[in-house]
Amino acid sequence: MNPRDALAVYRLTRAWLDDTHDFPPTAALRARASEALSGTRWEALDTCAWCSSAWIGAGVLVARRVAPRAWSAASWVLAASAAAGLLRNVEQALAAVAERGEG
């Protein structure tokens, strides 16, 4: 797996676990999946980043094998989104430190 795919897995996992609650196009899908997973042995996929990222990573490997051109474009977008989100988190953390006078 290349670094771009790894960032794509991170972004998709983050989207699944954290971002979909407020994004209308995916909120209904997320609610349906949560309901289906609830009470099953697969329930951890709905709450555990380690669990869900392993399966999302498997999906990424399949996408890379089955549709390499399409996945390549998608992985660039997802990796850029991951990098932008991570950099924003760093900015916010540095601003919080500066605001407290620790930096």
Q: What is the DSSP letter of 40?
A: S
Residue ranges making up the domain that contains 72:
3-100
Helix (DSSP H) and strand (DSSP E) numbers for the chain? 4, 0
Q: What is the DSSP letter of 15?
A: I
Domain count, the chain: 1
pTM of the model: 0.83
pLDDT by residue for the chain (103 residues), tens digit each?
799 999 999 999 998 888 766 777 778 888 888 899 999 999 888 889 999 999 999 999 999 999 999 999 999 999 999 999 999 999 999 999 999 886 5
Whole-angstrom distance, CA of residue 44 vs CA of residue 56: 13
